[in-house]
Amino acid sequence: MTSDTTARPFVLIIHEVEDYPAWKAVFDGAAGMRKAAGELSFQVLNFAGEPNRIVHFSRWRSLDGARRFFESPELIEIRRQAGVRAPEFVYLDELDRGDL
């Protein structure tokens, strides 16, 4: 369980990509932009057996900063160049965490 009551903002993005290695190169190239916008950490996962169905799960300084970043015209164009189709964004506040 967490020891403090500070809400930690997270973003969950689920999307299809045309080609994972091509998408990953663009994703890695945008690391500096993501950090400057307030991304603190991330995980990239895929659906089992579906290598081009990607989940990007990340922790942010603020949900407002994350929304501004993901909805910016610049990032919309980067997603297009990376072959992203139909992204679904879920903005989350962490309530609890633990290891068992």
The string of pLDDT tens digits covering residues 13-43 is 999 999 999 999 999 999 999 999 999 999 9
The answer, yes or no, to whether residue 5 has pLDDT greater than 60, is: no
Q: Rounded distance, CA 68 to CA 34, Å?
A: 11
pLDDT band per the 50, 70, 90 thresholds, residue 93: very high
Confidence of residue 3 (pLDDT cuts 50, 70, 90): very low
* pTM assigned to the model: 0.86
Q: Which residues of 60-80 are buried (b: 16+ CB within 10 A; e: fewer)?
A: beebeebeebbeeeebeebbe
Instruction: Give domain 8-94's CATH architecture.
Output: 2-Layer Sandwich (3.30)
Domain ranges of the chain: 8-94
